[in-house]
Structure 1
Amino acid sequence: MRQRHHFHIDYLGHSVSATVETGHTPAVEVLVDGKETGYATTRDDRPVSVPIELPTDPPTTVTVRATPGPGVPRCMLLATADADPQVMAPRLY
């Protein structure tokens, strides 16, 4: 059975949202300021990383790492290799 889980974080003045759709082939869609900027699928409950660019000057590359399972999905924003990951808060829609 497919379910959608929504996550959000504000980073560098931009809205970053992720939707994780669970099921046989989990999918992750990432929006920056309401525009789709990344999409990926995975198998089973394997984590997936979605690289995106924030519209800063110059553009900032970050990664959204989604874990569809087991259990409740989770999302994190990875800004740089040496920075701590930031947990994206779940949103009820």
Structure 2
Amino acid sequence: MSRRHHFHIDHLGHSVSATVQTGHRPVVEILVDGKETGHATDQDDGTVTVPVELPTDPPTTVTVRAVLGPGEPSCLLLASGDGEPRVMAPRAY
């Protein structure tokens, strides 16, 4: 049975949202400012990594890392050049 989990963070003035669909074949979709900019499926270790660009000048590359389990999934935003991952807050919708 699959479930959808939603996560969000604001970074450099842009909205980054992730939808994680768990189940037989997990999928992660990333939206930046409401537009789909990336998606990926489960990798062998239960982690999905999706690189995306923020529309800054010049564009900024960030990576969303979704950890699918055990338990509830979680998402982190990893900014290039910044060693601290940022936790993306879960959303109820």
TM-score (norm 2): 0.95
Cα offset for 1:80? 2.1
Structure 1 match to 2:66: 66
Q: Once superposed, what is the RMSD of the aligned Cα atoms? A: 1.3
How far, CA to CA, are the matches of 1:2 and 1:65 in structure 2? 19
How far, CA to CA, are the matches of 1:80 and 1:55 in structure 2? 14
Q: Which runs of 4+ in 1 moved over 2 A?
A: none
Show the 5 A alignment for 1:29-44. Answer: 29-43=29-43
Aligned residues: 93
Show the 5 A alignment for 1:8-23. Answer: 8-23=8-23
Give unpaired runs (5+ residues) of structure 2: none
Aligned identity (percent) is 73
The amino acid that maps onto 2:90 is P
Cα offset for 1:81? 5.1
The amino acid that maps onto 1:25 is R
Give unpaired runs (5+ residues) of structure 1: none
The superposition leaves residues 48-83 of structure 1 with CA deviations (integer Å, 9 ceiling, x where unpaired) of 110000000000000000011110000000002542
**Preserved contact between residue 26 and residue 43 of structure 1 (Cα < 8 Å):** no
